[in-house]
Amino acid sequence: MNMQTAITMTAAETALVDAYTAQIGELPGEGAVLSARDTLLANLRQQGLPTRRVESWHYTDLRALLRAVPAFDPTAFAEKVDPLVPGSSVLSVLNGKADTKNLPAGINVRSYAESLIDGVAAADLIERDQDDVIGRINGSFVRDGFEIEVPEGTELEQPVEFQLVQSAGQSHSRFPVTFGANTKATIIERHLSVSDAASLVTVVSDLILDEGAEITWIILQQQGASDSHLAQVNFDLGTNAKLRLFVINAGGKLVRQEVHGVTTGEGADFKLRGINLLGGDTHTDVTFTLGHDVPNTTSTEVLRNVLFDRAKGVFQGQIRVAPDAQKTDAKMACNTLLLSDDADFSAKPELEIFADDVQCGHGATVIDINPTHLYYLRARGIPENKARAMLVNAFVDEIVEELEDEGLIETLETIIAAWLEKHA
């Protein structure tokens, strides 16, 4: 972070520091955990929230955008909802509190609060780098979440759904998940809001995929129109590990979803597929970095963004290829439909390459609906609004269809169609 000397603190910064003083007595964990929290908060206090002068926050001036921080509300009430895919194992976090009843069999699960209390979590509570504001806020305030280990060779038939239901106040959760060698699983990370009250939700997921693990991780973010959502997924891919990460943003007022990964084993493959459905006054930022650290690893990233109303969208994607990471194949695409003159979209797709025998590329487009496509449909008697909806749907549906699970595809398509109907 650039030198940001102590300037007057904003309301949100003050609220965060005050919240810490108010909550620290009851936050789980002592000793090393407590001192890790203290360090993170001290850094937050000293550096403040990032402005656009901080390169990785260039398009999301958090200091200006995060106006207020709702106080932690211990009385807030939220209930579990039905899982997206019937038959899934559900692990719910309700207003930041993990529900430890009926934990699924076959995998090792415990609440993150336990991990904080016995001090194991202390090692997690660090910043990725100078600019890691999400890690800093989450690490200071984290209360709960789930710590999961999927034992070697486990193949889960049904998805596991992390359900984060929020009604008011703040929630700060963590999900350290280790997938043993040759495991197969689908995980759904779902963020819901059940009231109109403003909430601040932060979540950090740390994924480790051992040799040959094949994992599909789906993030479906549907928070309320006044919520702030700061999320981070970190992953480490071992030899021949495959991770498919789907990120669907369809809610929230201020959203920053960070994805940071490294490939540490040869043959690792990463796929990022993103859909950003942005309407109203949302500011949604997807920031992605991937380090190809060893030879022979591959990655593809495809993002589809649709913007209505006064929405602001950001995509920053950085692919780094380390000096010895020969035979890297990395491709990134970011396609945007800008459907309103009051909306705006900024993209920064970056390549940072230190090896020569590589194939790397990125593409970015910003465009309105193609008038000839529209004409084609209208000429066939389809009314304009319907024709537009069809085209937008087709634009994002390509991503959804890459999931193999028919039931899941249908559910997501229904959610997307409903969102488009509301905003188009």
Partner 1 sequence: MAAVQETIDQVALIDVDQYKYGFETTIEMDKAPKGLSEDIIRFISAKKNEPDWMLEWRLEAYQRWLTLEEPTWARVNYPKIDFNEIYFYAAPKSTPGPTSIDDVDPELLRVYEKLGIPLREQEILAGVKTPRIAVDAVFDSVSVVTTFKEELKKAGVIFMSISEAIREHPDLVKKYLGTVVPTTDNYYATLNSAVFTDGSFVFVPKGVRCPMELSTYFRINEKGTGQFERTLIIAEDSAYVSYLEGCTAPQRDENQLHAAVVELVALDDAEIKYSTVQNWYPGDKEGKGGIYNFVTKRGDCRGKNSKISWTQVETGSAITWKYPSCILRGDGSRGEFYSIAVSNGHQQIDSGTKMIHLGKNTSSRIVSKGIAAGVSQNTYRGQVSTHRKAENARNFTQCDSLLIGDKCGAHTVPYIEARNSSAQFEHEATTSKISEDQLFYCLQRGIPTEAAIALIVNGFVKEVIQELPMEFAVEAQKLIGISLEGSVG
Closer residue to partner 1, CB minimum distance, 146 or 345: 345
Exposed, middle or buried by CB within 10 Å (0-12, 13-18, 19+), for 405?
middle
d(CA 371, CA 325): 44
Contact between 384 and partner 1 per CB under 8 A: no
Please give the Cα distance from 138 to 176 (Å, whole number): 13
Piece of 78-86, 188-196, 349-357, 406-414 that binds partner 1 (CB under 8 A): 349-357
Which of these ranges, 145-153, 167-175, 334-342, 373-381, lies near partner 1 under the rule CB under 8 A? 334-342
Smallest gap, in angstroms, from Cβ of residue 60 to partner 1? Answer: 13
- Candidates 12, 15, 192, 343; binder of partner 1 (CB under 8 A) is 343
d(CA 52, CA 61): 5
Which member of 185, 360, 387, 400 binds partner 1 (CB under 8 A)?
A: 360
Q: Which is nearer to partner 1, 42 or 355 (CB)?
A: 355
Cβ proximity to partner 1, 314 vs 403, nearer residue: 314
Contact between 263 and 293 under an 8 Å Cβ cutoff? The reply is yes
* Nearest distance, CB of residue 272 and partner 1, angstroms: 17
Handedness of CA 273, 160, 97, 27 (dihedral sign): negative
Q: How far apart are CA 18 and CA 24, in angstroms?
A: 10
Indicate whether 95 belongs to the interface with partner 1 (CB under 8 A): no
* CA-closest candidate to residue 273, choices 241, 247, 243: 247
14 binds partner 1 (CB under 8 A): no
Q: Which of 74, 151, 153, 361 binds partner 1 (CB under 8 A)?
A: 361
Interacting residue with partner 1 among 26, 75, 87, 367 (CB under 8 A): 367
- 96 exposure class (CB count in 10 Å sphere: 0-12, 13-18, 19+): buried
- Shortest distance in whole angstroms from residue 75 CB to partner 1: 43
Min dist CB 242 to partner 1, Å, is 24
Closest approach, Cβ 84 to partner 1, in A, equals 32
Nearer to partner 1, 18 or 352 (CB): 352
Of the pair 370, 414, the CB lying nearest partner 1 is at 370
Of 107, 124, 291, whose CA–CA distance to 213 is shortest? Answer: 107
Site for partner 1 in 102-121 (CB under 8 A): none
In the region spanning residues 26 to 85, those forming contacts with partner 1, defined by CB under 8 A, are 55, 58
Find the distance separating the first CA and the last CA of the chain, reported in whole Å: 39
- Which residues share a beta bridge with 313? 284, 345
Asked if 350 touches partner 1 (CB under 8 A), the answer is yes
Please identify, using beta-carbon distances, which residue of 47 and 92 lies nearer to partner 1.
47
326 lies in the site for partner 1, by CB under 8 A: yes
Task: Name residue 225's beta-bridge partners.
Answer: none
d(CA 350, CA 311): 23
From the list 368, 384, 401, 410, which residue makes contact with partner 1 (rule: CB under 8 A)?
368
Backbone angles phi, psi at 400, to 5 degrees: -60, -40
**Between the CA atoms of 363, 368, 372 and 378, what dihedral angle is there, to the nearest 10 degrees?**
140
| Residue 323 found at the interface with partner 1 (CB under 8 A) | yes
Is the Cβ of residue 181 or residue 351 nearer to partner 1 in the bound state? 351
CB of residue 137 to partner 1, shortest distance in Å:
26
User: How far out from the chain centre does Cα 231 lie?
Assistant: 5
Q: 50 vs 238, which CB is nearer to partner 1?
A: 50
Burial (CB < 10 A; 0-12, 13-18, 19+), residue 371, is: exposed
Question: What residues make contact with partner 1 under the rule CB under 8 A?
Answer: 55, 58, 323, 326, 336, 338-368
